[in-house]
Amino acid sequence: MVPVYSHIAANKRRTFFLFLLFALLFAAAGYLLGLYLGEPVVGLILAAIFFGVMILISYYGGQGVVTSMAGARPASREQEPYLYNTVEALSIAAGRPVPKLYIIETDVPNAFAAGRSPEHAVIAVTRGLLNRLNRLELEGVIAHEMAHINNYDILLATVAMVLAGTIVFISYTVRRMFWFGGSRSRRKSGGQAQLLALLAAVFLAILAPLFAQLLRFAISRQREFLADATAADFTGYPEGLASALEKITAAQVPGGPIDNEALRGLYIVNPALGARGTERISTLFSTHPPTSERIKRLRSM
């Protein structure tokens, strides 16, 4: 198994690489858009400004974006004492601050962690998770999310999600500009502007879905295996998480209330797969390894 500290360093390197990759993409898109408008330098400047703003949003406000997209609300100690007691005990075991807690009001059991560091992290759980799991199973799930926080998986996942959404939005905006603003540009610049606009639109239209897929896979499947192993170490009871994974996977509803494409990679079990998450073939292009394999590894510990 990859040592924990090596995994943390690898996630920081991946995050830097993603920042660089997106900077280059924004620069290329800005330049092409500037050519379309007849001002390539202006396009680069606008791209740089927009990229800087999105970096600040994803780094400092990414967890707020994620919880908002998930429909999660803050959980108070008075309303959720059982959840708070569980998380506080595991935070002590992990040697980390207690993360902020959120509840998603749905019967579908699942959970995720988000944020940029152990000091700025959140854990969100669904109502169904609290209702369906016993104490040992809940501890296993919370420990898994604590492991993601401890291993800095959350930084990579949160940045990836926000930037992926940004790229898709830019692609859509540029295509709209091309279709509805193309005639005016052609009158000003002739066929060259039309050709460059077409290239820009095709460039972004192709790269947007490719980068969204790339970011989903950037959150390596191995991080789930490592988080499972770390969770078993925190609790000292691998069966708790193994049993929880069985229940969670069986209860997923593809297209259900938590099946948001942008957030699938964050959840402990991909909600889009439903009970098929246990099958190897169904997860060939998934952000998660097969649940059956995860359970097998846990029960072999």
Q: Does the annotation count 145 as an active-site position?
A: yes
pLDDT of residue 281: 46
Specify burial of residue 61 (Cβ count, 10 A radius: 0-12, 13-18, 19+). middle
Cα 244–245–246 angle (5° rounding)?
90
Q: Phi first, then psi: what are they for 256, rounded to 5°?
A: -80, -165
Catalytic residue from among 139, 145, 239, 261? 145
Sheet architecture: strand order including 111-117 = 72-74, 100-104, 120-126, 111-117
Over the chain (301 residues), the average pLDDT of each successive run of 10 is 56 69 76 72 85 79 86 94 94 88 96 89 96 96 92 75 69 64 49 60 64 60 82 92 96 90 86 66 62 92 85
* Structure letter (DSSP) for residue 290: -
| Residue ranges of domains in the chain | 4-65+157-218
- Structure pTM? 0.76
Residues, the chain: 301
Per DSSP (E only), the strands in the chain are 72-74, 100-104, 111-117, 120-126
14 in Cβ contact with 156 (< 8 Å) = yes
Q: Would you call 166 exposed, middle or buried from its count of C-beta atoms within 10 A (0-12, 13-18, 19+)?
A: buried
Nearest Cα neighbor of 201 from 228, 231, 224, 170 is: 170
- How much is the pLDDT for 171? 67
CA-CA distance, 112 to 267, in Å (whole number)? 5
